[in-house]
Structure 1
Amino acid sequence: MIETKIRKVGNSAVMTLTTEMLTILDAKEGDTLFVVRGDDGSLKITPQDPAVAAALAAAEIVMDENRDLLQALA
C-alpha cells in the first residue's frame, strides 16, 4: 500500500502521485489516467488505453443518439 495526501490547489483537491506510483502505472507527467469506481466504492486508477477510450467515445455517441429509448428502458 502506498500512502499519499490530498491537498488544495486553487478550487481543486489534488492527490500527488509519487514516482513509485507513476512507475507502477507506467505513466508520466502529462499522461491521461482513468479513474474507475468499483462496486464496493473503491477507486481504481489506470493508464489511458486507446481501445477503451475509443469504445467509450463510441458508447457516448450511441447513448446520445438513443437517449429517449434508453431513458424509457431505465
Structure 2
Amino acid sequence: MADAPKDQKAESKTLQVRRIGNSIGFILPKETAARLDLKEGDRLFVVDQPGGGFVLTPHDPDFEKAMEVARRGMKRYHNALAELAK
C-alpha cells in the first residue's frame, strides 16, 4: 500500500464524548471547525463508509444524489428544456 503524499497525511485527533443536557455530544477543536467552515447552528452529516467507519461532512449526501439525478435528466432532455426556455 502506498504512503499518502506528505501534504495529505492523516492526522488523528481524539474527541471526548460529553453530556450536553439530556443528550451526548462532542466539541470540535477550533481548527477543525474552521477547516470545515462551520459556524454555530450549521449541520454535519454522518456518512457511513465501507468497513464500518464514517465521515463527518458539512455537505448533505442526499442533496448530492438528487442533484446527480437532475443533471442526468437535464442532459437527457437538453433539447426539450432548451425549447421550453425560449
Over the aligned positions, Cα root-mean-square deviation in angstroms equals: 2.8
1:23 paired to 2:53: no
Residue 57 (structure 2) pairs with residue 46 (structure 1):
yes
Q: Does 1:37 align with 2:48?
A: yes
> Residue 55 of structure 1 aligns with which residue?
66
- Bigger proportion of residues as strand: 1
Amino acid at match of 2:46: V
Tell me if the contact between 1:31 and 1:48 (Cα under 8 Å) persists in the aligned partners: no
Q: Bigger radius of gyration, 1 or 2? A: 2
Q: Give the letter aligned to residue 44 of structure 1.
A: V
Q: Cα deviation per residue 1:31-66 (whole Å; 9 max; x = unaligned)?
A: 11111111111120101349826829x9xxxxxxxx
Equivalents in 2 of 1:19, 1:26: separation in Å? 10
Gaps of 5+ in 2: 1-11, 70-86
Percent identity for Structure 1 against Structure 2: 39
- Distance change in 2, residues 1:22/1:55 (3 Å): same
Q: Is there any run of 5+ residues in structure 1 with no aligned partner, and where?
A: 59-74
Higher normalized contact order (CA 8 Å, seq sep 6+, divided by chain length): 1
Structure-2-length-normalised TM-score: 0.52
Secondary structure at 2:19 match in 1: strand
TM-score under structure 1 length normalisation: 0.59
